[in-house]
Amino acid sequence: MYDVVIVGGGLAGLISALELARAGHAVALVERKTYPFHKVCGEYVSNEVRPYIESLGVDLRQLGAAHIDYLEVTSPTGRQLTTKLDLGGFGISRYNFDLALYQLGLDEGVNFLLGKSVEEVQFTHDQFSVTLNDGQVLAARLVIGAFGKRSKLDKSMNRPFMQKPSPYIGVKYHIRIDFPTDTIALHNFQAGYCGLSAIEEGKYCLCYLTTRQNLKQFGNIPAMEQAVLWQNPHLKAVFERAEFLYEKPEVINEISFAAKKAVENHILMAGDSAGLITPLCGNGMAMAIHGAKQASDLATNYLRGTLTRAELEEKYQQAWSKLFARRLWIGRTVQQLFGSRWLTEIAVTTLGAAKPLLREVIRQTHGKIISVT
């Protein structure tokens, strides 16, 4: 019997596991891959979570995280605007960031079940049974779902967002290029946008979102990139000048930005499992970290008997909505201004002429610095 079983070992899962283990609970985390591994992710983190991350014992300086203070946005035709980021952020690869959190979790006694996946989660008699693909069954008082954007568990639970269209794909590279390390660039193109920002060791993350229709039309990723992304002269220059460090890109299919519930079948959802902000807003990693802290704090109160299960679920849903619902709505709304060639040109022109409006959009999609006291 575990106090908590966590399904998924991304940022939300790792931080939940670390916090709960440090609170004295018996924690198991199930992850289908083995650390370290790459993930499709923009790898930019808002400074709203930096003090908290460092308080957990992650030495971002030692990991070589890049300090980012500026945002550059370009339209499909190359129109450009730049603004300062009020909070700023840092760039770090998930390969090294997740590994550092995993190692801290090991030190705290988290039982990591790696190379395994969860087939089924059942809730009966006020406890969970979690069945793994190797037949092993784990019993737990609580389950935290941190299994990402879309999984077979979402389907088996018949979550409503699975019935809605998921027309997007994400593609990520690590590259070397001559570009300011203190700037994150957002290059728009027809039916998509691409982020570029520094990470550790002089490398950069190049990650873009586009539609499956774009890929289908041109048959493969390189052909699509040349036909669509290269229409933006800034992106064309990036692809022509950069040294690509992967043999092939990391790719994820069927990305959905539809609304989700933070509690499903008594499982506390965290990170992308609870809701996915559009990459345009560049704040998904910070939200996963913040949400995991919220989930683990409330879970500890339940495990120590100061909350009933019903109170836990109600408080978590309320807290999650208070923290993130508005951000997600604004992200979905802002995304509608980008993707269409002419709308993007108008948006970049308007925001470039009204910098306070741009900074307000950024402020509305980012949170306040998490207290570490």
Q: What is the pLDDT of residue 220?
A: 94
Q: What is the pLDDT of residue 70?
A: 92
Tracing tokens 């106090």 back to the chain, one arrives at 3
- How far is residue 50's CA from residue 36's CA, in Å, rounded to a whole number? 21
Q: What is the pLDDT of residue 366?
A: 65
Instruction: Residue 327: give its domain's CATH number.
Output: 3.50.50.60
Phi, psi of 329 (to 5 degrees): -65, -45
Q: Domain for residue 135, yes or no? A: yes
Total domains in the chain come to: 1
Can you spell out the DSSP letters for 118-148? Answer: EEEEEEETTEEEEEETTS-EEEEEEEEE---
CA quadruple 29, 278, 161, 298: dihedral sign: positive
Q: Domain for residue 370, yes or no? A: no
Tracing tokens 């009933």 back to the chain, one arrives at 308
Q: Domain for residue 224, yes or no? A: yes
Q: What is the pLDDT of residue 83?
A: 87
- How far is residue 327's CA from residue 282's CA, in Å, rounded to a whole number? 11
Q: Domain for residue 88, yes or no? A: yes
Q: Domain for residue 308, yes or no? A: yes
Q: What is the pLDDT of residue 339?
A: 63
Q: Domain for residue 195, yes or no? A: yes
Q: Domain for residue 341, yes or no? A: yes
Domain limits for position 108: 2-364
Among 208, 283, 275, CA closest to 48? 283
Q: What is the pLDDT of residue 364?
A: 62
Q: Domain for residue 373, yes or no? A: no
Phi, psi of 218 (to 5 degrees): -110, -5
Q: What is the pLDDT of residue 305?
A: 96
Q: What is the pLDDT of residue 350?
A: 73
- How far is residue 214's CA from residue 211's CA, in Å, rounded to a whole number? 5
Can you spell out the DSSP letters for 253-265? Answer: EEE------SEET
Q: What is the pLDDT of residue 357?
A: 65
Provide the Cα torsion 44, 49, 51, 56; round to 10°: -100
- pLDDT averaged over consecutive 10-residue blocks of the chain (373 residues)? 96 97 98 95 93 96 96 88 88 97 98 96 96 96 90 83 82 97 92 93 95 91 96 96 94 81 94 76 82 96 97 95 79 68 71 67 66 65
What is the distance between the terminal CA atoms of the chain, rounded to a whole angstrom? 31
Q: What is the pLDDT of residue 312?
A: 97
Can you spell out the DSSP letters for 323-370? Answer: IIIHHHHHHHHHHTTSSSHHHHHHHHHHHHH-HHHHHHHHHHTS-PPP
